[in-house]
Amino acid sequence: MMKRISLITFLLTLLSLASFGQKYPKDWENPRMIERNKMEAHATLYPFQDVKTALTMERDNSQWYESLNGTWKFYFVPKAEGATTDFAKKGFDASAWDNISVPSSWEMKGYGTPIYTNITYPFPAKPPYILRDNPVGSYIRDFDVPDNWKDREVILHFGGVSSAMYVWVNGQKAGYSQGSRLPDEFDITDYIVPGKNRVAVQVYRWSDGSYLEDQDHWRMSGIHREVYLVAQPKVNIYDLAVRTDLDAAYKDAELQIRPRVKVPDDTDPKGWTFSAQLYNEQGNKVKNGEMSILVNHILHESVPQRDNVPFALLKTHITNPVKWSAENPYLYILVVTLKDADGNVVDATSTHVGFRKVEWNHGVFKVNGRPVKLYGVNRHDHSDVNGKAVTRKEMLDDILLMKRFNLNAVRTSHYPNDPYFYDMCDKYGIYVLDETDLETHGLTGYFTNNTSWTYAFVDRAVRMVERDKNHPAIIGWSLGNESGVGPNHAAMAGWIRSYDPARLIHYEGAQGDPASPDYVPVNSKDYWKRPYDANPTDRQWVDVISRMYPSPALLEGLAKSPWVHRPIVMCEYAHSMGNSTGDLKKYWEVIRSHPNLMGGFIWDWIDQGILEKDKDGKPYWAYGGDFGDKPNDGNFCINGIVAPDRTAKPALWECKHVFQPISVSPVDLKNFDFTVVNRQDFTGLEPYTLKWLLRENGVEVQHGIIPAPACAPGENARFHVPVDQDKLKKDAEYVLNISWDLAKKTLWADAGFEIAWNEFTLPGHKVKPAAVVSGKARATENGNHITLSGKNFTVVVDKAKGAVSSYKVNGKEQFVSPLKPDFWRVPTDNDLAGGNHIFRDMRVWKDAVAHMTLQSATIDENQSGVVCTYRLPVDASTLKVHYLVEENGTLQVSADVLKGDNAPDLPRFGFTVEVPGTLTETAYYGKGPWENYWDRKSGAKLALYKTPTSDLQYKYVRPQENGNRSDVRWFALAGKNGGLMVRGGAKVDFSVWPYTAPDLEQAKHIDEVQVRDFFTVHIDYKQLGVGGDDTWSAQAIAHPPYRLSAKSYQYSFTIRTVKSIAQAEKLY
């Protein structure tokens, strides 16, 4: 009876598949056809010829490995209808074809069009069909099979192909695969011959799999990850899974191993053994680190009826191993061998092992028993010259930058990365949230609720976990991004939970558990009325509560919710598009105040600009739409904290300071007593050198090194700084900087590299105000102009415009254009956010100065100044400007603005002027050296800086407001023939550009900004902060403390000529 039922089931299955095949005749438009002849997923392993070679962990040392990276023959057709398979036949002449490098994205090589779109599918959405031209690339590569590979299985490995591929070897079809971010492997043993062979590959740009790959990045095509061959014995170690289980004290460990051995049907493995040996990082054997098991015991493992099999086929007790963490990423090496009945090593391979335990209990995320915060970032694969084909050097550069800037975690948004990236995270110490290649943003939850797609959903999760399971850096698995929520996600989570219970499961979309007493349906009018993100309890098959872009207030509300009992993570926050990442420190004040807040992942790591040249050969970074790509989302891919060339943007310096693992605060600043808080999770302060430096008016006058106090992780300690107080002056400003530098060289930085710092302005010391050299000037009035003249100067004030139209000293004009009030700034990306109605309201200030009307103009009694009052065309607001000239020609400027009752916030309050381009050197005493803003200046140090004037700008990919310096006491611009010095009545902000504000505002790319022969100088009371909680809603605007919302503002400054920068320094 059972046989009969099985036969009926088999026949019904065949009929079903036949029917399905008729419905979807093309493999690449069939959601249930995701592979043909593709090998099962497994951990990244390489066969080695012996234990000694396996211990090196270098695949290039293996005689069983051969790279196929390099030059391939290539033929491109823009439509699938134009593609044939004739090229795959034996003897095909490809000599007339183009050459292309592999790996690469073919769009970066001039074939087809790169497309950047965020949500909208790049083709009309009618799954599973591709209703647009589907480009196809055909590849050919000849290779030689080494003589000693005879009688071995030869495996052809593709690390990643977008998005669907057929493979032939020597004219025989080897298989089909889709899924762009995971390996495709084919056993080609039966197709190869001794000597010369040929592999042919046909890649389709789009497939039904593309519906599951609707991520916010460049859509590119081709063989974008490495290709290689491995030769393994017929009986081989096919897979290896490793776990480390720490005891309750997190001291000793149990090393658990589960191998998978492949044995052909015609081979009897009787007497064959599988062995494992653990080595430390010096290559020495670890005590109790040797294990072995008969292969037959592996093959014939008993499987119970009402329980699952235990994970470990081999296990051993390891006494107090060095624990792996991001702070101390200690790696052991596990070498495993397969021996025949005579004891000969038939197969050998190796993997790194990190002893660590991930837990999430009582709402707290822990590693090795210690609460851990994630200072993370989202990272797309991107190269400004290679597209999606990221090189190993670029991957390592990313890791090094992350370590040097105090980041400790990465989310592989939104797909698995190349295995090398995980190797580097293991080695250098970066926690990883590994994400499934799954996003269906354009059709939301359609696919997760459709059984036709269940296989593809689960397959993508399974293959990711199987490949990456042995990396200690991976703390959790993410089920994808923005794909709705439904049973297909639950199926993914169910498989992962059973297969790997030692890591957490994450999915931001799993919001709303109807069983929760706090549940609110998403279509309810009350959904957005909560003091925290709605539905604070998520589906039970995720281990963390994940949210995108909550404000700090919403995040805190979520942390305090009585229904939340799981750790909370921001899988995306601090949208760093353009000039952004404001008030990051506020988020971390909240996060550090609540144990259940894990931290988060900034969006995102790198500006996804593509390096291009304009018609004049000037380089620029292109973004969506620049290639005629449709649909596109413009520059919405330019939101990294590093530039497309992997250099640090100003925001990254803010991250470094906010994320720093050591923080100092004063106990008694007058007596130089301090408290240090060690924010590290596993490390004391011993690896660091404690330095201090005292600056007088920005210049170093004292410094020293003192012993770092003993301070355990998470604890605090007191210390004293031995400043020589007898040398301090009453009439100078002093800033004490305390820093923590690496005492010894590490893998990622040299000794002396600064990790953390804090600075403190000493009380009781203050610079004397500049002496006013009073004296009588001669004032003459001529129409709209008032001229103030003295012994060696003339100042002309344009009453109608409120501007100084001329400033001459010793007969030389100092200005290129008038010094005039300014209320507008060139909008940032956050300012232009679609939902940012607050900034839209501010647009009334853009032309306020041009349209203001003079109410009064009076010359003061000593004939040295003029006071002008104006009515502004913004809700009856008024501006009063006072220009006063001292006897030595110093120009004093003071301004008062009084806003009308209903006037919106000011974008900026300041003055602007153009000065000669010959003033090529700048010095300033203020926050620096990098650009900083009102809400993004905690990572800048207060000091005296000197720089070429042209270097004060920062070139954002899409031109916008840039280059500000905050808390400036004075600045000077000078050239060979002298220059100008500006001193604030208190503190001012300033910026200098080699172009005008209209030049900047009109340009779409950096090469379009017209460089002038003068500099535009802004001298500001302040301007609006940069904001950036997101870049599409009202949350894009700066937080309220960093807006010019008050009723009135006043400030002042002076301008005078100087002979040199050196003279300016002496004048302060």
List the domains of the chain with CATH numbers. Answer: 19-232 (2.60.120.260), 238-357 (2.60.40.10), 373-656 (3.20.20.80), 660-761 (2.60.40.10), 778-1067 (2.70.98.10)
DSSP E strands: which ranges in 1013-1047? 1014-1023
Cα–Cα dist 957/609, whole Å:
7
More confident residue, 399 or 14: 399
Cα–Cα dist 428/472, whole Å:
11
Per-residue model confidence (pLDDT) at position 530: 64
Question: Which amino acid is present at 77?
Answer: V
What integer is the mean pLDDT of 746-765? 97
Per-residue model confidence (pLDDT) at position 834: 84
pLDDT tens by residue, 438-493: 999 999 999 999 999 999 999 999 999 999 999 999 999 999 999 999 999 999 99
The answer to whether residues 667 and 720 touch, using CB atoms and an 8 Å cutoff, is no
pLDDT of residue 776 exceeding 80: no
Establish whether the linkage from the previous residue to 163 is cis, with ω within 30° of 0.
yes
What values do phi and psi take at 272, rounded to 5?
-75, 145
More confident residue, 306 or 665: 665
pLDDT of residue 17 exceeding 50: no
HSE-up of residue 1057 (Cα within 13 Å, Cβ side): 21
Per-residue model confidence (pLDDT) at position 513: 83
Cα–Cα dist 954/968, whole Å:
18
Cα–Cα dist 412/377, whole Å:
9
Degrees to nearest 5, angle at CA 466 with 289 and 373 = 80
Joined tokens for residue 792: 């060696």
Per-residue model confidence (pLDDT) at position 9: 43
Establish whether the linkage from the previous residue to 959 is cis, with ω within 30° of 0.
no
Joined tokens for residue 356: 């660590």
Lowest average pLDDT, out of 730-744, 745-759, 766-780, goes to 766-780
pLDDT of residue 963 exceeding 60: yes
The answer to whether residues 285 and 278 touch, using CB atoms and an 8 Å cutoff, is yes
Question: Which amino acid is present at 440?
Answer: T
Per-residue model confidence (pLDDT) at position 495: 98
Cα–Cα dist 582/551, whole Å:
12
DSSP string, 461-526: HHHHHHHHTT-TTEEEEE--SS---SHHHHHHHHHHHHH-TTSEEE-TT----TTSTT---TTSTT
The answer to whether residues 217 and 637 touch, using CB atoms and an 8 Å cutoff, is yes
What values do phi and psi take at 56, rounded to 5?
-75, -20
Cα torsion through 673, 674, 675, 679, rounded to 10: -160
| DSSP type of residue 41 | P
**pLDDT above 90 coverage of the chain, percent:** 90
Per-residue model confidence (pLDDT) at position 777: 80
Is 867 strand, coil or helix? strand
pLDDT of residue 8 exceeding 60: no
Q: Which one, of 100, 308, 324, 338, lies nearest residue 221 by Cα?
A: 100
Helices (H) and strands (E) in the chain, counts: 13, 61
Average pLDDT, the chain: 95
pLDDT of residue 71 exceeding 90: yes
Question: Which amino acid is present at 436?
Answer: T
pLDDT tens by residue, 621-662: 999 999 999 999 999 999 999 999 999 999 999 999 999 999
Helix (H) or strand (E) run with residue 11 in it: helix 2-23
For residue 459, the tally of other CB atoms under 10 A from its CB is 17
pLDDT of residue 536 exceeding 80: no
Cα–Cα dist 474/436, whole Å:
13
pLDDT tens by residue, 172-201: 999 999 999 999 999 999 999 999 999 999
Per-residue model confidence (pLDDT) at position 534: 61
pLDDT tens by residue, 830-840: 999 988 899 99
Q: Which residues are catalytic?
A: 482, 572
pLDDT confidence of 863, banded at 50, 70, 90? confident
Helix (H) or strand (E) run with residue 229 in it: strand 227-232
Cα 93 from chain centroid (whole Å)? 45
Per-residue model confidence (pLDDT) at position 525: 78
pLDDT tens by residue, 783-822: 899 999 998 999 999 999 999 999 999 999 999 999 999 9
For residue 701, the tally of other CB atoms under 10 A from its CB is 16
Cα–Cα dist 222/152, whole Å:
29
Query: Hey, CA dihedral for 65, 69, 74, 76, is it positive or negative?
Result: positive
Per-residue model confidence (pLDDT) at position 1006: 95
Cα–Cα dist 580/935, whole Å:
10
pTM (two decimals): 0.95
Per-residue model confidence (pLDDT) at position 602: 99
Degrees to nearest 5, angle at CA 603 with 601 and 605 = 90
pLDDT confidence of 21, banded at 50, 70, 90? low
Provide the β-strand partners of residue 787.
780, 796
The answer to whether residues 488 and 507 touch, using CB atoms and an 8 Å cutoff, is no
For residue 310, the tally of other CB atoms under 10 A from its CB is 11
